[in-house]
Amino acid sequence: MYYLYLIECNDGSIYTGITIDVERRFEEHKEGKGGNYTRAKRAKKLLYTEKHPDRSTAQKREAEIKSWPRTQKEALFKKK
């Protein structure tokens, strides 16, 4: 099982990624051990997660969401 996730960074930007363990990965981002983007921007809050059956499906969804404008990303977690 893979998870797609969206994180709000300290500068207000939204980071999108995938993982098999959301809690562990979010902590890595908060500690500056995640990707370069969140190392520089610092993770602040987990906004949204989605389950996917495999890595391929999660990666396709990640690419799709990364191409979206901010307002469309916000619609994902504001409707929850």
pLDDT digits (tens, 9 = 90+) for 45-76: 999 999 999 999 999 999 999 999 999 999 99
Please choose, from the candidates 34, 40, 43, 35, the residue with its C-alpha nearest in 3D space to the C-alpha of residue 14. Answer: 43
- Domain count within the chain: 1
| CATH assignment at residue 71 | 3.40.1440.10
d(C-alpha 28, C-alpha 80), whole Å: 25
Contacts of 37 (CB under 8 A, 6+ apart): 9, 15
pLDDT at position 75 is: 95
pLDDT at position 49 is: 97
Flag whether pLDDT at 80 surpasses 70: no
Within 1-80, strands assigned E span 2-9, 14-19, 43-52
Give me the domain span that covers residue 15: 2-78
d(C-alpha 38, C-alpha 15), whole Å: 7
pLDDT at position 18 is: 98
Flag whether pLDDT at 35 surpasses 90: no
pLDDT tens digit sequence for 8-25: 999 999 999 999 999 999
pLDDT at position 10 is: 95
